[in-house]
Amino acid sequence: MDFWATLYVFVLASFIGLGVIRKVSRLLYTPLMSLTNAISAIAVVGSILVTGGDYPLRIRVLGAIALFASMTNIVSGFLITNRMLKMFKTGDHRGDPSTSSGSSQARSRGDGNRS
Amino acid sequence: MMFAIGQLAYIVASVCFIFALHWMNTPATARKGVYAGVAGTTIAVVVTWAEPTVIHHVWIVLAIAAGFVVGVPLSMVPLTAVPQRTALSHAFGGLAAGLVGSAEYYLQVSENPGNLTAFRMVALIAEVILGYLTFTGSLMAAGKLQEVKWIPQRPVTYPLQNVINLLLIGVALALGAALTLHPTAGWAPALFPVVIVLALLFGILLIIPIGGADMPTVIAILNSYAGLSAVAMGFVLDSKLLITAGALDGTSGLILAIIMCKAMNRSFTNVLFGAFGQVQQAKAAGEQKVYKPETPEGAAQILDQSSLVVIIPGYGMAVAQAQHKVRELYDQLKKRGITVKFAIHPVAGRMPGHMNVLLAEADIPYTDLVEMDDINRDMPQADVALVVGANDVVNPAARSDKASPIYGMPIIDADKARTVFAIKRSKNPGFAGIDNELYFSDRTWMLFGDAKNVIGELVKELAGGSGMH
C-alpha cells in the first residue's frame, strides 16, 4: 500500500472539495447535504468486498449490514435530492404543468393536511 | 487488464462526483449533478461487484434490495422532516464505516496479521471511532429533531460534562494507540470492542447538551464526520475513490458548519461544548413589557397598501406547515403589484438551506428568496416585514445588548421596516429562551396564533377585500 499516494489524493481531493463547495448556491444547501451524503455512501464498495469475499460468516454479516446501510443512503439520498431540486423554479416556469412536479407537490400538500 | 479497467472506472466515478457538486452551483444545472452522482455510484458498484474476490452474490443482492426497501420510503418524507432524515443518513453512513472497519480488523487479525501496519491501524481506529460516534450522535440528533419522546429536546447539562466527554474520547484514543502499537497482541481483539463502546457512548453524550437552535451547525459537523469516516475507510482499503468521495463530503460538511457558525457568531467549540440552548434565567423585569396585538383585518389593510413586503420565515413556519399558506399570501400580494421578497437567514430552521427547500416546495420562485446580507440593504425601504415563526434571527438584541447570549450574531433587520407584523404561537420566549425586543418595538404589531391559521386569515381578508377595488 502506498501511504504517500493515498495521502496525496486525500489532500488534493479536499482542496477540490473546498473549491467546488464554496461555489454551491446558498439556496441549495439542503439538497447539497443529501447529495454529498449519497456520494459518500460510495463506501458501499468496501461493504461489497467484505460481504462478497470468501470470509468467515461473522465478517460477512458485518459487511452485509454495512452494505444495507450504505445502499439506503445511496437510494434515499439521490431520490430526495432529485425530489427537492425539482421544486426549485424561477418565476418564468411557474404554473408550468409538468406532471412530475405537480404530483410531488400534491403529495406534500397531503402530508401537510394530515398533521 | 481487468485491473486497469477497474482503476479507470474509479477515476471516471471520481470525476462524476466532482461534477455532481460543481453543478450544484446554480439551481438551473443542479439536477444534472444528481445524474452525475448516480452515474458515478453505479459505475463504482458494478466494477467492484465484478472483482474476482467477490464470490458470494446472494447476500449482496439481498442487502441491496433491503437498501431499496428502506431507502425509497425515506426519500418520500415530508420536507419538514428533511433535517431528521439527513441526520439519519449520517447515522447510516457512520454505521457502515464502523462496521466495515470492525470487519476489516478481525479479518486481518485472523488471516493476515502482517497487513496491520501502523499506518493502516491508525486509519482503522480513526474509521471506527469516527464511524460509531457519528452513528449514535446522528441518531440522537435525528431523535431530537423528530421529537422522539424519550430523548430530551432541551439541552441536558450536568456538572463536569465537558470533562467527562473529553476523558471518554481521551481513553478511546489511548486504547486506539495501544491497539496501533500492538495490533496482534493476545488482548487486542478483546480491547477492540471497548473502543467501539466508548465511541458509541461519546456520540450520545456529545449531542445530549445541544438544543434545537444549534442543529444546523451540528448536522453539518456530523456530515463532515461521516465524510471523514469514509476517508478513513478509503485509507484502510487503499481505495482512492473512497478517499475522494469522502473528502468531498467531509469538506462540504466543514464549509457548511463554518457558515452556520459565522451566521451565529459562534465558534465550533462553543457550539459543541457551550450548551447554548439552556433556558436563560429571566431577567427581573423592572417594567412589564406589553405586546401590541393586531387583528388579521388590520394587518391585511396595511399589507394591501404596501409596495414592498419582506417575509421572514423561521422554524415556526416549518412546524406549522405554513409554507403553502405563505404561497397563497404571496400570490394575493403579487396580484396587487406588490413586491414580495423572502429574507433567508442562514440558520433559520433546523438545517442549512431548510427554508429555501420549504418555500420552493410551495412553488415560490427561488429568485424571490434573498440572502440576509442582500435583503438587509432593502429593509429600510420595506413597508412591511412579516415575521413567520422566526425569532432569534430578527432579535435586535444581537446588535445592541452585550449581555444577550446572541450578542454579535448577524440578524435580519426586520426592525428597520416601517411596520413589523410578527406571527407568534404563544407569548412564551423563543427556542433559545431569550426575550425578543422586536416584539415590543413601536412599529411592531403581534398576530397571535398558529402561523398557518393566521396567514390563512390574512389571505381570506385580502381575497375578500380585492373585490372592492
Which tens digit of pLDDT belongs to each residue from B313-327? 998 898 888 999 999
The type of residue at B129 is I
* Beta carbons of B71 and A72 less than 8 Å apart: yes
pLDDT at B367: 92
B448 versus A110: the higher-pLDDT residue is B448
The answer to whether position A98 is within a domain reads no
Residue B187 has pLDDT above 80, yes or no: yes
Q: Give the residue-averaged pLDDT of A17-22.
A: 94
Q: Which residue has the cell 433535517?
A: B83
The answer to whether position A30 is within a domain reads yes
What is the nearest CA distance from B289 to chain A, expressed in angstroms?
34
Name every chain B residue with its beta carbon within 8 A of the beta carbon of A14.
247, 250-251
User: Phi and psi dihedrals of B131, rounded to 5?
Assistant: -60, -50
Nearest by CB to A33, from B86, B235, B247: name it: B86
Q: pLDDT category, A32, cuts 50, 70, 90?
A: very high
CA-to-CA distance for B58 and B60, rounded, in angstroms? 5
Name every chain B residue with its beta carbon within 8 A of the beta carbon of A71.
63-64, 66-68, 71
| Residue B214 is among the residues annotated as catalytic for this protein | no
Average pLDDT, chain B: 88
What is the nearest CA distance from A99 to chain B, expressed in angstroms?
14
Identified catalytic residue from B214, B392, B415, B450? B392
CA-to-CA distance for B277 and B280, rounded, in angstroms? 8
The pLDDT tens digits for B202-227 are 999 989 888 777 888 899 999 999 99
B244 versus B285: the higher-pLDDT residue is B244
Whether the CB-CB separation of B222 and B134 falls below 8 Å is answered with: yes
* Beta carbons of A14 and B251 less than 8 Å apart: yes
Q: Which residue of B has its CA nearest to A2?
A: B238
Name every chain A residue with its beta carbon within 8 A of the beta carbon of B21.
17, 20-21, 24, 32, 35-36, 39
Q: pLDDT category, B183, cuts 50, 70, 90?
A: confident
Pairing of strands B339-344, B444-448: unpaired
Quote the percentage of chain B above a pLDDT of 90.
61
Nearest by CB to A74, from B30, B41, B230: name it: B41
pLDDT at B289: 67
Q: Give the residue-averaged pLDDT of A14-32.
A: 94
CA-to-CA distance for B201 and B443, rounded, in angstroms? 50
* Beta carbons of A66 and B104 less than 8 Å apart: no
Q: Which of A1, A76, A83 to mutate to test the interface with B (most CBs of B within 10 A)?
A: A76
Which domain does A70 fall in, by range? Answer: 23-86
Q: pLDDT category, B458, cuts 50, 70, 90?
A: very high
CA-to-CA distance for B65 and B424, rounded, in angstroms? 46
pLDDT at A64: 96
Q: Which of A81, A88, A104, A115 to mutate to test the interface with B (most CBs of B within 10 A)?
A: A88
Q: Which residue has the cell 400570490?
A: B331
* Beta carbons of A89 and B365 less than 8 Å apart: yes
The answer to whether position A72 is within a domain reads yes
Name every chain A residue with its beta carbon within 8 A of the beta carbon of B240.
5-6, 9
- CB contacts < 8 A, A to B, total 385
Whole-structure pTM value: 0.87
Q: Which residue of B has its CA nearest to A86?
A: B31
Number of domains in chain A: 1
- Specify the CATH number of the domain B296-468: 3.40.50.1220
The pLDDT tens digits for B157-171 are 788 888 888 899 999
Name every chain A residue with its beta carbon within 8 A of the beta carbon of B36.
none
